[in-house]
Chains A and B, each alone.
Chain A
Amino acid sequence: MTLPYVINLLYQFADNVAFLLLAALGLMIILGVLDVINLAHGELIMLGAYITTLSYNEMHLPLPVCVLLSVIGVALFGLVLERTVIRRFYRDKLGALVATWGISLILSQGVLILFGPSLVSVPLPQWTVGYGGYAFGGYRLMLFGVAVLVVWLAWWIFYRTRLGVWTRATMQNPEMAQALGISTSRIYMLTFAAGSALAGLTGALYAPTTTIVPLMGTTFVDVAFITVVVGGGTNPIVGALTSSAFLALISTPLSSVLGTFIGRIGLLIASLVIIRFLPRGFSGYLRDAGRRRMGRGLVS
């Protein structure tokens, strides 16, 4: 148990947290505000990766510009999606789920038909940092930094801006919010676009680290869904943070010792156990616990 070994574990932990956070946050925000599960989330991530890869390879734009294009592109796509399809399912959560699943099929198969089975990846920037016999990827450390930044930004918007207040009001009581003059329709639209933008960002940022294939979204939603289930829809930010930290805590030692695959099985089992005892996820449980501590009962 040398220091470099611990640092290596911490690095892997941070890497896992970043992956879970970036993969799940967009989905959780959409769930929290619109009460809708977007099963096309993985394909939005894939679109982000494809936009970045194509603009890098075909148009030779610098990587940051490609990432920006991805974010904007997928956000716009999400906007269109929300206006045309999603808003017909506001009251019908399972219906939205199935409809977005249809969209995800159209996207993944469509990309397969248009662009073939794979693309040449964007080369990973080689910013290796060596320490104590271990090599740490600087790019992935940067991704951790981006994840932290993104969560902080989301928190800031939710709790420090008027838009955030309106959004939280819409989350808690849409009818009341409307009566107070908030355009809930616009909030939903913006939130869905923001969630999509996050998906696009995730895909763009992870594009250099993985193979670019039409079904690449599944490697993200695998764990994103578990993160969402464990986090719960009550509070997207608290849920995303606690969930990704907890799950990374489980998967890091497991995958480091027994391989990535066992890590994922461990996550599924962990999520089943959590859901059995905390059916509203961490964010739901924390909200209820907070109420109890204040000497109040639970809202029925």
Chain B
Amino acid sequence: MIEDFMGIAFTQRVFFSAIFASILCGIIGTVIVEKNMVMVSGGIAHMVFGGVGLGFLMGFEPILGAFAFALAGAMIMAAMKKKDSRHMDGTIGVLWALGMALGSIFIYLKPGEPPDIHAYLFGDIEAVRLLDLYPMALLTVVTIALTWAYMKHLKSYLFDELFAEATGSANGFFDYLIYVFVGVSVVVLLRLVGIILAIALLTIPPMIAGRFTKRIETTMALASVLGLVFSLAGMFLAYRYGLPSGAAIILLACGVFIATLPMGG
């Protein structure tokens, strides 16, 4: 039935993009939640909007602009952390607003018909149609490979950064790597749920999964599965009832989050 509605090619595209996005969310989101990096991730996510706006203004693919801004944001955040900045939280707030303000100005300055920015803020199932699956697949494979290869070091770093640094098993490079992957995840999620809701899809599945798992590997795996279920079910609901897909996905995730609150440890 869903095929009749969307066409088989499109359904496959939606399915695969949901799989890739969910795996990224499961792995990177778990790191974000364990490391209390939600504020940092939010900052990077909103900086991305500046890149989207620049893309519209200069006439190149907004996703490329988003990617560039995500990388820049990740670098700035990681450098700030390294500097031991006392006002990191406040500075993130500044970058957060700066990205949104830049994006708005760029889009305002673009001559002619104003572009549809709604899709970038809240996600749009139609936009998934435009997704290029290959970069997504590549990013997902790289993320899985790196996480697998350095799992023990990642654990040491997540449990106790200072000790990991003192013993040389993780250094400042780890920060940069993780921040860059947060940025990359946000860009991947852009079409699916949008800038504003990306953080929710990154954090809700790992938070639910964390209550039912005792090892970080299983948290990541379960979070990926949950992310996939939320994405697919949310998109299905969006189609069936004509809802905005991003909001449908996140509302579903929030519902399950609240419903499972009394369960688990």
Whether A associates with B in a native complex is no
